[in-house]
Structures are given as C-alpha cells and as structure tokens.
Amino acid sequence: MPTGVAIRDPRQQLFDAAERILLRAGPNALTSRAVTAEAGCAKGVLHRHFADFDAFLAELVLGRIRRLDGMDAALREAAGTGTVAGNLIRAITDLFDAVAIAVVSLVIARDELRARLRAAGSSGIPLMTEASAMLKGYLAAERELGRIAADADVDVLAPTLLGAAHLLFADREAGPPDAAAVHRTVTAVVAGAVR
C-alpha cells in the first residue's frame, strides 16, 4: 500500500469499499484488511478514523439508518396522494436496495455490532426497526386521512409488511424480486386495512 499519499474523504472511501465487499462476498468477507485493501489504503487509515473495526461497522450501519430520514419524509409527504399500496411499493423497493439487504445480514451476523448499535439508541434489528417505524408513521398518516381503516393496527401492520417484503428481497443470490411479486405482497398485507 502506498504511504504518504493524501486520501480524499478517507471515511467515505472506506464505507464505499465495505459496501462493495458486502455486495460481492457478503458479511463474512468483511474484515478490516479486506476493507482497506478494497479502498486501496493502508490498514492504519481505518484505525486513524475509527476506534476499532466494530466502531467502523457501526458507523456504516448508522449511515444507512440516517438515509431513512429522507425516505421517511418523502413517504409521509406522499400520504393522501396516489394509492396507499403504490406508495408503499415505492418505499419498500427503495428501502431494500442491495446494500441495505447486505447491511441487515451484517447486523444479524455480528453480536458486537448489534450491541454497539443498541448503545447508540437502536433496538431490535437495527435498520429494520427504524424502517418499521417509517412504515408505521406513513400508515398512521394515511389512517388519519381516512385511506386506512380507523381500527387498523399500524403497530402490527408495519412490521408485518416489512417482514414480508424483507423475505422477498433477502435472497442475495437471486437478486431483487420482480415488480409483480412486490405488488402482490404489499397489496395482500394491506388489503384488509385500505379503504
């Protein structure tokens, strides 16, 4: 590895490298050495910016969780427009991109990472918990607008929808499901609640 060469935005370079490894080889291939090799930098660069590898991984996941803020705002703005199922399908398809699926696998595979994320304020399965809250907020907004039944239990509906969607997208080998499968799943889950 070259030394003494300035690296532009080394943190982002390391995060990008980690995402490429996750996509290519999965969470078991993600090591500090693999990340720095993929980023084309010395191993010390990672440790200069993060206390240890789990701190790096926690920041990687927290970055994905922060991305949900923009998605949450867009989804809530969609309340009352289009169709409930259509809005949910777009949100779920955006949510479950290939990197997010790999990050969920990473979180599930690493106990220390989950512990750090919980210490940072996340709960359950980090990223999935926040995504469920995003869907719950949207469904509650639609319920207030009368497009979801007044007695719909959004506390149950949101994680049910998220879990069903995750099962569709989780197969890294097969790639993402086709649009018809996503549509069929979302409409089936919300059928009893949509007005």
Domain identity same for 130 and 90 = yes
What's the CATH code of the domain at 21? Answer: 1.10.10.60
Task: Pick 6 or 42 by higher pLDDT.
Answer: 42
Name the band, by pLDDT with cuts 50, 70 and 90, for residue 7.
Answer: low
Task: Pick 29 or 172 by higher pLDDT.
Answer: 29
Q: Kindly state whether residue 149 falls inside one of the protein's structural domains.
A: yes
132: helix, coil or strand?
helix
Domain identity same for 65 and 155 = yes
Give the mean pLDDT of 69-78.
96
Give the pLDDT of residue 1: 44
Q: Kindly state whether residue 56 falls inside one of the protein's structural domains.
A: no
- Mean of all residue pLDDT scores within the chain: 93
Domain count, the chain: 2
Domain identity same for 98 and 159 = yes
| Encoded amino acid at 117, one letter | L
Give the mean pLDDT of 152-181.
92
Domain identity same for 103 and 27 = no
Give the pLDDT of residue 88: 98
Picking from 114, 27, 16, 111, the residue whose alpha carbon sits closest to that of residue 60 is: 16
C-alpha to C-alpha distance for 78 and 167, rounded to whole angstroms = 25
Name the band, by pLDDT with cuts 50, 70 and 90, for residue 175.
Answer: confident
Q: Which domain holds residue 25?
A: 1-49
Q: Considering only 55-59, 89-93, 122-126, 138-142, which range has the smallest mean pLDDT?
A: 122-126
Domain identity same for 22 and 88 = no
Q: Kindly state whether residue 18 falls inside one of the protein's structural domains.
A: yes
Domain identity same for 27 and 119 = no
Give the pLDDT of residue 4: 47
Domain identity same for 98 and 168 = yes
Q: Kindly state whether residue 54 falls inside one of the protein's structural domains.
A: no
